Amino acid sequence: MTYLDANATQPLRPEARAAVLAALALTGNPSSVHAAGRAARRVLETAREAVAARFGAAPADLVFTSGGTEANALAIHALGAGLRLIVGATEHDAVRAAAPGAAVLPVDGHGVADLDALARLLREGPALVCLMLANNETGTLQPVREAAALCRAAGARLHVDAVQAAGRIGVDLRDLGADSLALSGHKLGGPQGAGALLLAPGHTLAPLIAGGGQERGRRGGTPALPAIAGLAAAAAQTAPPLAPHAALAPLRDAAEQAALAAGAIVIGAGAPRLPNTTCLALPGVRADTQVIALDLAGIQVSAGAACSSGKVARSHVLAAMGLDALAGEAIRVSLPWNAAAADIAAFAAAYQAMAARLSRRAA
Regarding whether 39 and 188 lie in a shared domain, the answer is yes
- Same domain for 275 and 350: yes
The single-letter code of the amino acid at 82 is G
CA dihedral for 341, 345, 351, 354, sign (positive or negative) = negative
How far apart are alpha carbons 108 and 91 in whole angstroms? Answer: 14
Rounded distance between C-alpha atoms, residue 319 and residue 291, angstroms: 19
**Residues 122 and 270 both lie in one domain:** no
Domain region containing 191: 14-237
What DSSP string runs through 254-312? HHHHHHHHTT-EEETTTS-B-TTEEEEE-TTS-HHHHHHHHHHTTEE-BSSS--TT---
216 with 264, same domain?
no
For residue 195, give the H/E element and its range: strand 195-199
Question: Is the domain of 60 the same as that of 196?
Answer: yes
Residues 212 and 173 in one domain: yes
DSSP assignment of 217-240: GTS-S---HHHHHHHHHHHHHTST
pLDDT value at residue 309: 42
Q: Are residues 20 and 100 in the same domain?
A: yes
Q: 27 by DSSP, 3-state: which? A: coil
211 and 254 share a domain?
Answer: no
- pLDDT (0 to 100) of residue 305: 56
Q: Do 105 and 84 meet the contact criterion of CB atoms below 8 Å apart?
A: no
40 contacts 29 by C-beta, under 8 angstroms: yes
Q: Cα separation of 92 and 195, whole Å?
A: 16
pLDDT in tens, the chain (363 residues): 999 999 999 999 999 999 999 999 999 999 999 999 999 999 999 999 999 999 999 999 999 999 999 999 999 999 999 999 999 999 999 999 999 999 999 999 999 999 999 999 999 999 999 999 999 999 999 999 999 999 999 999 999 999 999 999 999 999 999 999 999 999 999 999 999 999 999 999 999 999 999 999 999 999 999 999 999 999 999 998 877 778 999 999 999 999 999 999 999 999 999 999 999 999 999 999 999 999 999 999 999 655 434 555 678 999 999 998 899 999 999 999 999 999 999 999 999 999 999 987 765
151 has catalytic annotation: no
Task: Provide the CATH number for the domain around residue 249.
Answer: 3.90.1150.10
Mark whether 233 and 253 lie in a shared domain.
no
Find how far residue 344's CA is from the centre of its chain: 23
CATH of the domain at 81: 3.40.640.10
Whether the Cβ atoms of residue 271 and residue 140 lie closer than 8 Å to each other: yes
* Cross-strand bridge partners of residue 267: 279
End position of a domain, from candidates 205, 237, 269: 237
Choosing from 237, 261, 282, the residue where a domain stops is 237
Catalytic site residue from 130, 151, 279, 307:
307
DSSP codes, 11-39: PPPHHHHHHHHHHHT----TT--SHHHHH
Q: Is the sign of the CA dihedral 237, 68, 201, 169 positive or negative?
A: positive
Is the domain of 141 the same as that of 159? yes
Residue 242: the pLDDT is 79
How many Cβ atoms sit within 10 Å of the Cβ of residue 81? 10
